């Protein structure tokens, strides 16, 4: 009640709903759980879509602050682009297979900690459970080791 919104939630909602006039329920990311377990949680949320609830997951597909390169201000490094492209391929063809990206050669560099990647598993789980694939909403990279690729599944009115 007094804690407020996590920065990952607030930083997106402040632009999408600047009046802050919507109810928000946040989920914590449990880094001890597997991608598949997070996908199962996402799948369990999919019935909420039929009730008009928007499920938003914020993070980055590639988020390695230790590898930031200010010379690459508005682009990602080759390894980051490759991992992001592999993730995009999975999300847009078979989101239920998101767990396969852990075998990508750049996974450990792209995802040194799971906190920014695991929210994508919720969206993959939702997409898989409703029989849809994700659509790319926004693409981009920054400082060599961040990607801003965003996905959408279904519609929100």
157 assigned to some structural domain: no
CATH number at residue 105: 3.40.830.10
pLDDT in tens, 5-17: 888 888 888 888 8
- Within a domain: residue 2? no
Residue 19 in domain: yes
Whether residue 21 is contained in a domain is answered as yes
CA dist., res. 8 & res. 15, Å (int): 12
CA distance 32 to 82: 26
The reply to whether 100 falls in a domain is: yes
Q: What is the 3-state secondary structure (H, E, C) of the chain?
A: CCCCCCHHHHHHHHHHCCCCCCCCCCCCCCCCCCHHHHHHHHHHHHHHHHHCCCCCCCCCCCECHHHCCHHHCCCECHHHHHHHHHHHHHHHHCHHHHHHHHHCCCHHHHCCCHHHCHHHHHHHHHHHHCCCCCEEEECCEECECEECCEEECCCCC
Residue 63 lies in a domain: yes
- Note whether residue 67 is domain-resident: yes
Using alpha carbons, list the distances in angstroms from residue 40 to 9, 34, 66, 70, 124: 21, 10, 30, 37, 9
Q: pTM, whole model, 2 decimals?
A: 0.91
Structure tokens at 73: 């201000």
Burial of 6 (0-12, 13-18, 19+ CB in 10 A): middle
Asked if the structure places residue 1 within a domain, the reply is no
The whole-number pLDDT of residue 54 equals: 87
Residue 90 structural domain: 7-152
* Predicted local distance difference test score (pLDDT) of residue 1: 56
> How far, in Å, CA of 59 to CA of 62, rounded?
9
Are the C-beta atoms of residues 9 and 55 closer than 8 Å to each other? no
Q: pLDDT tens-digit profile of 21-36?
A: 888 888 888 999 999 9
Domains held by the chain: number: 1
Residue ranges of the chain with pLDDT lower than 50? 157
């Amino acid at each position: 009640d007094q804690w407020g919104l996590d920065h990952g939630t607030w930083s997106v909602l402040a632009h999408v709903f600047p009046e802050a006039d919507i109810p928000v329920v946040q989920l914590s990311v449990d880094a001890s759980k597997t991608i598949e377990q997070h996908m199962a949680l996402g799948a369990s949320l999919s019935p909420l879509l039929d009730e008009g609830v928007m499920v938003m997951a914020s993070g980055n597909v590639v988020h390695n602050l230790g590898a930031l390169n200010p010379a690459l201000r508005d682009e990602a490094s080759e390894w980051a682009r490759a991992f992001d492209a592999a993730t995009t391929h999975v999300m847009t063809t078979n989101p239920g297979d998101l767990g396969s990206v852990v075998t990508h050669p750049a996974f450990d560099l792209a995802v040194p900690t799971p906190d920014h990647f695991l929210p994508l598993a919720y969206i993959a789980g939702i997409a898989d459970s409703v029989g849809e694939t994700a659509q790319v909403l926004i693409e981009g990279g920054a400082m060599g080791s961040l990607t801003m690729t965003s996905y959408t599944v279904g519609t929100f009115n």
